Structure 1
Amino acid sequence: MSSGARGQGGFDLGPPRHPRRMSLTPMIDVVFLLLIFFMLASRFGTDAVLPIAGGAEGAGSEWQGAPRLVDVTPDTVLLNGQPASEGQLAVQVAQLLPDAGAAVILRPREGAPLQRLVTVMDLLRDGGVTNLILIE
């Protein structure tokens, strides 16, 4: 046999080769493709924000007008302790407001899911009631 490199069993595999250097180009292409994918798939901007005030905001001013307490229970909505229909809630609350910017207190009751509270808040906001104070 020749004087070249021999593998096991006496086979001539030819002259030894130098290992090839790996190219980084395919890896860089994959990284850029992933970057573009995540940029297109992600959401930019702010999510919906609920404009509410904490219970301490109304402490500095004197309450004016009739009481405006909306209790949100799992089954019903109570306006000043009396059952109110959700369709007429904004109208009934608006009748109690001394002016358009007057506060309305929201109180979720035990067992009321958060989505129900958000739904009632949306009903009031759609009816023109914007100053909502959330208490425990």
Structure 2
Amino acid sequence: MLSQPNSGLIPRQRRRRQLISLTPLIDVVFILLIFFMLASSFLDWRSISLGTPAQATAASSSMEGALLIRVLADGGLDLSGERLDEAGVQARLASAVGRKPDQRVLVQPAAGVRMQRAVAILDLVTAAGIRDVSLIRDSRAGG
């Protein structure tokens, strides 16, 4: 007698593919987000405080005796009419602070000078110990 081909076997069921749940992945992303938000410090930003134009005009009477640093378009520096490099400017400013602790310095970037270069010079001035620093506009720039 002939037997049927599948008679002795258990019928094979199709396996259903498991669906991947995204809930644990989303939980991990939120936990990482909260961790980095709590671990980061947003209060340590460096800022440059600049006076409003009304304050600048009131302070213009005290510009007498101030040192003028012109930031030239070619990247050079001019301190009160003398062309110097950054180290020379910083040395002169340090000696000026030694003579007069409340020395005022005016920084005047020429037209075409990048803002980052002007900020670097402001940092150089404050590193020399000068606290009274003003950024002024080049009158020849126009506009």
Determine if the TM-score, normalized by the shorter chain, exceeds 0.5. Answer: yes
Q: What is the alpha-carbon distance in structure 1 between the residues aligned to residue 114 and residue 94 of structure 2?
A: 25
Calculate the TM-score normalised by the size of structure 2.
Answer: 0.60
Contact kept in structure 2, 1:67 and 1:96, CA below 8 Å: no
CA distance 1:75–1:64, change in 2 (3 Å): closer
Q: After the TM superposition, which residues 74-89 of structure 1 pair with which residues of structure 2 at under 5 Å, given as runs?
A: 74-89=74-89
Supply the AA of the counterpart residue of 1:44: S
CA shift at 1:52, angstroms?
4.2
> In the comparison of the two structures, how many residue pairs are matched?
114
Contact kept in structure 2, 1:55 and 1:133, CA below 8 Å: no
Match of 1:3 in 2: none
CA shift at 1:68, angstroms?
1.2
CA distance 1:64–1:95, change in 2 (3 Å): farther
Calculate the TM-score normalised by the size of structure 1.
Answer: 0.63
CA shift at 1:102, angstroms?
3.4
List gaps (5 residues or longer) in structure 1.
1-21
Match of 2:126 in 1: 125
Instruction: Select the structure that is richer in helix.
Output: 2
Q: What is the alpha-carbon distance in structure 1 between the residues aligned to residue 118 and residue 55 of structure 2?
A: 20
CA shift at 1:77, angstroms?
0.8
Q: What is the alpha-carbon distance in structure 2 between the residues aligned to residue 112 and residue 96 of structure 1?
A: 26
CA shift at 1:89, angstroms?
1.0
SS in 2 for 1:101: coil
Contact kept in structure 2, 1:69 and 1:105, CA below 8 Å: yes
Query: Quick one: percent identity of the two aligned structures?
Result: 17
Contact kept in structure 2, 1:66 and 1:96, CA below 8 Å: no
Q: What is the alpha-carbon distance in structure 2 between the residues aligned to residue 56 and residue 88 of structure 1?
A: 33
CA shift at 1:76, angstroms?
0.3
List gaps (5 residues or longer) in structure 2.
1-18, 138-143
SS in 2 for 1:63: helix
